[in-house]
Structure 1
Amino acid sequence: MNTSKAFSSSRLVIKLLGEFTVFIDGQKLSNTAIKGRKARKLLKILAHQRKYQIVREHAIDILWPELKVKAASTQLYKAIYHIRQAFRKHNKGAEDWIKISENFLRIAPPGGLVTDLNLFQKFARTGLKDKKKTELESAASIYGGEFLPMERYAGWASFPREHFRQLYLDVLTYLAEVYEEQEEFSEAAEMLRYALDKEPTLEAAHQGLMRIFAKKGQSTRAFHQYNICKEILQEELGLALSPQTNKTLDDVQEGKFC
């Protein structure tokens, strides 16, 4: 699947990784196009749900937990109205893309919705399962940042944010392994540095850098990386290094990677 083609061919594209953005027929909606903070939140919630739908009562519980049923339902319809109006300004038929029934809310544009989140997951799962370089590279390139950083303190966003962060780390470390196997050491090191930028305590990434430095004949850097890992784990987590990290050091000292 070509990622740029997938984004450009869809009538509705929503990006949730990094900056929240919405595109209709290739046109980006401004940050203020959708009136109302709760209306924008509702669209974000819908866009990351399976099949892009949610039970009405669940949406109400997330967004208006303090209101009684009638008042909350009124606010829900108001939020839907604001989303539809923003869509309609870019496409007259787009106001019908937000569907509401007795039990569900869903996004259903003609031809379907494309999100960076969905594409990221598809490429990541395929790449991790089969260790396919192109899919892993696509997944890494799509991940534009953490899931909805503007909703950092929203309870409904915390679990998916951590889930996708961990999946991204898996993509980076597996991709680094593929690069290392193909002796593309600079590319492998770059992926591992990205991973450590997200998670400094990730021992597998430190181990990978130690191996790569040793394979490049830079044993001193491998020893230095070992000490960095040791210091970070002790300071951040109060933990000792794993046996695997210590074994990697032993292998470097014995010249097994040369």
Structure 2
Amino acid sequence: MSTLRVQTLGMFRVWIDDEPLPGTVWKREKAQRLFQFFITAMLNDSHQVLPKERIVADLWPTLDEPRADRDFKVALNALNDALEPDRSSRSLSSYIVRYGLAYGLDPDADIRIDADEFRRGLKAAARLETDDVDAAIDAYRDAIDRYAGDYLPDALYEDWASLERERLQTLYLSGAMRLASLLLQREGYQEAVHLCQSVLVLDRYWEEAYRLMMLSHAMRGNRPLAMRAYEQCVAALDEGLGLEPMHETVDLYEQIVHGDKLAISR
């Protein structure tokens, strides 16, 4: 069986045995959407298959039943042709399974999805923290590097992809902050600042990023930049949400202003 590798983060691409599938193989957009839907179902619940009625209701909610049934069959055939153009019409798909009227990706197929590898990488890094901080840092770096951008950016307005997109982005934000915190323990201040900045590009209200940036600048001896980070935090929260910073953020600011010794939370 060939290895199917799928990029879902930042852009959508597919490789079979390291050979990229050209965009032209997706002769129908619905075939690509069906494949992306199957991928999302697998990420939400490993090896999940879904009833055809659920699939067409999520993918094409405006179609009546006869049209939806016809479009599903056409999309499924086109998807099989895209993934296995040389497969005979009577042979079973290597990647898609059917149980009655339920369909999904074959759990035994060699399918590697970057979003799944990203999640597994973060879990592995978290397990390393208690025993080996340096190994945990390397593992977090590797996982964070896998996050190339939003999940399925060509399906931004598809409801069935939104939850997974939000879940993965939150994992990235939390993982980046955990990495930044560990880097402070190893005096990796500049890298920590860059991580905080990348988080704030995605979510300008993520207050922990401002605090870690303040700590990074202050521990490098640059109090003006640390205070500037606090001012940016205050402005963002006030303008966007009408909120004030948390007590934890204000306390850190006051410690920096007074020149107190700063502690790094572990």
1:257 to 1:109, Cα distance in 2 relative to 1, 3 A = closer
> Once structures 1 and 2 are overlaid, which stretch shifts more, 79-88 or 120-129?
120-129
Q: Which runs of 4+ in 1 moved over 3 A?
A: 66-71, 89-96, 128-131
Corresponding position of 2:119: 121
Partners of 2:93 and 2:25 in 1: how far apart? 13
Partners of 2:194 and 2:2 in 1: how far apart? 32
Identify which of 22, 26, 36 aligns with 1:30: 22
Partners of 1:220 and 1:160 in 2: how far apart? 39
1:213 to 1:204, Cα distance in 2 relative to 1, 3 A = same
Partners of 2:242 and 2:142 in 1: how far apart? 36
Please give the TM-score of this superposition, normalised by the length of structure 1.
Answer: 0.89
Q: Is the Cα–Cα contact under 8 Å of residues 127 and 133 in structure 1 kept in the other structure?
A: yes
Corresponding position of 2:60: 64
Aligned ranges 1:53-132 → 2 under 5 Å? 53-55=48-50, 56-89=52-85, 95-108=93-106, 111-131=109-129, 132=136
Deviation of the 1:89 alpha carbon: 3.3
Partners of 1:244 and 1:71 in 2: how far apart? 57
Aligned ranges 1:184-223 → 2 under 5 Å? 184-223=188-227
Partners of 2:120 and 2:234 in 1: how far apart? 35
1:94 to 1:196, Cα distance in 2 relative to 1, 3 A = farther
Q: Is the Cα–Cα contact under 8 Å of residues 40 and 161 in structure 2 kept in the other structure?
A: no
SS at match of 1:99: strand
Percent identical across equivalent pairs?
25
CA RMSD in angstroms comes to: 2.2
Partners of 1:100 and 1:231 in 2: how far apart? 54
Partners of 2:188 and 2:92 in 1: how far apart? 47
Q: How many residues align?
A: 250
Identify which of 157, 160, 166 aligns with 2:170: 166
Matching residue's letter, 2:226: A
SS at match of 1:32: helix
Matching residue's letter, 2:104: R
Alignment deviations for residues 68-100 of structure 1 (CA, whole Å, 9 cap, x no partner): 444322221111110111122377889432222
Corresponding position of 1:257: 262
Partners of 1:196 and 1:222 in 2: how far apart? 15
Deviation of the 1:143 alpha carbon: 0.4
* Structure 1 residue 43 corresponds to structure 2 residue 43: no
Alignment deviations for residues 2-41 of structure 1 (CA, whole Å, 9 cap, x no partner): xxxxxxx971011111111111111111223112111111
SS at match of 2:23: coil
1:230 to 1:190, Cα distance in 2 relative to 1, 3 A = same
> Once structures 1 and 2 are overlaid, which stretch shifts more, 143-152 or 55-64?
55-64
Deviation of the 1:110 alpha carbon: 6.2
Partners of 1:35 and 1:168 in 2: how far apart? 33
Partners of 2:192 and 2:60 in 1: how far apart? 46
Partners of 2:159 and 2:109 in 1: how far apart? 31
Corresponding position of 2:237: 233
Deviation of the 1:60 alpha carbon: 1.4
SS at match of 2:46: helix
Q: Is the Cα–Cα contact under 8 Å of residues 7 and 13 in structure 2 kept in the other structure?
A: yes
Please give the TM-score of this superposition, normalised by the length of structure 2.
Answer: 0.86
Q: Is the Cα–Cα contact under 8 Å of residues 173 and 199 in structure 2 kept in the other structure?
A: yes
> Once structures 1 and 2 are overlaid, which stretch shifts more, 68-77 or 176-185?
68-77
Q: Is the Cα–Cα contact under 8 Å of residues 94 and 109 in structure 2 kept in the other structure?
A: no
Partners of 1:114 and 1:106 in 2: how far apart? 15
Corresponding position of 1:4: none
Gaps of 5+ in 1: 1-8
Q: Is the Cα–Cα contact under 8 Å of residues 95 and 109 in structure 2 kept in the other structure?
A: no
Partners of 1:94 and 1:30 in 2: how far apart? 23
Matching residue's letter, 1:73: D
